[in-house]
Amino acid sequence: MARLAGRRLLFAAPILLVVTFGVFAIAAASPFDPIKAYAGTAALGADAETLARLRENLDVDQPFTSRWWHWLTSALGGDLGQSSVLRQPVAQVIGERLVRSSLLCAVAFLVAVLTGTVLGVLAARRPGSVLDRLVTSLAYSLEAAPVFWLALLAVWLFALQLGVLPAGGLTDTASEQVTPGQVASHLVLPAGVLAVSQLPWFTLYVRQGVGDALAEDPVRGARARGLSERTVLLGHALRSGLLPVLTLVGSRVPELITGALLVESVFSWPGIAAATVQAATAVDFPLLAALTTLATAAVLVGNLLADLLYGLFDPRVKFSDM
């Protein structure tokens, strides 16, 4: 495991370098003007000399390669720079929002895995049954539904029509302090929508894995020994059928991050999404590079976690072969 993690870290370093360099290159080619975004309406009446001085003060007049190298060397020393659009240190911007985004993603991912496992097992128990066809049809339908459409539908149904859940935000607008109860109630809709967007993949993978396991000789032998159907299903078929699901841990991280950005935007969840959109539209180089690096690192960690889990749970797989 240590050797595998070490090899992945060696590969991760050049990947992160290329990603950050690409962010600066793409941002430099963007039609958005970071000075106008920074100055706001004041830029409309400013003369060329004032704008030129502002560009020099913010180091926007430098080639993107120089800005990238300055940001990279500072980031390696622990300084992620200053966000020009949010007027805060980048580390502070990420620190304030990362906990909220992590809470949203963690809750949604856990709900998707548990619900998908239950539905997949129920569907695989009797292939071709009414329940199997219902679960698979629902999974394929949800798989084709865009996450922002699900979010808007959830707001319309649960917030506007039924009025049982808040439409967005972190807490109630009239509240002067953040309480766990308010956060939990405001978390239900965004976490639920994000979980539903990930649910089809886990459901279909579990259904296929458990269905294949039920047809294998060890499971047939367990049934022939007179073991109960519950023991056969949960103790033998489910353990073998969940192995392919472990590979989803890494592969679903990119879409989980993308879905979280859309969900946070629809529900006004104060996480990383708002900062990402502002950084992109304002060409905020330090913040945009830091957020992209963070997302890339999350994907790399997710892939590593999937490989480690697969190697731990499947004795046929050796870490030296990965």
Report which of 320, 200, 192 is spatially closest to residue 248, judged by C-alpha positions: 200
Report which of 285, 230, 303, 265 is spatially closest to residue 75, judged by C-alpha positions: 285
Per DSSP, 42 falls in state G
Q: Are 206 and 187 in contact (CB under 8 A)?
A: no
φ, ψ for residue 83 (rounded to 5)? -75, 120
pTM of the model: 0.78
Report which of 124, 156, 16 is spatially closest to residue 76, judged by C-alpha positions: 16
How far is 57 from 143, CA to CA, in rounded Å? 48
- Could you give the C-alpha distances from 79 to 73, 261, 285, 286, 293, in angstroms and in order? 9, 25, 14, 10, 14
- Quickly tell me which residue has 């797989």 as its tokens: 317
Residue 89 CA from chain centroid, whole number: 23
Per-residue pLDDT of the chain (322 residues; tens, 9 = 90+): 677 777 777 888 888 888 888 888 887 777 666 666 666 665 556 666 766 776 666 666 677 788 888 888 888 888 888 887 788 888 888 888 888 888 998 999 899 989 988 898 888 888 888 998 999 999 999 988 888 899 999 999 998 898 888 888 877 766 667 677 888 888 999 999 999 998 998 898 888 888 777 777 776 777 677 777 677 777 667 777 777 777 777 677 777 888 888 898 889 888 887 788 878 777 777 888 888 888 888 888 877 777 777 666 665 555 555 5
Class of domain 90-281: mainly alpha
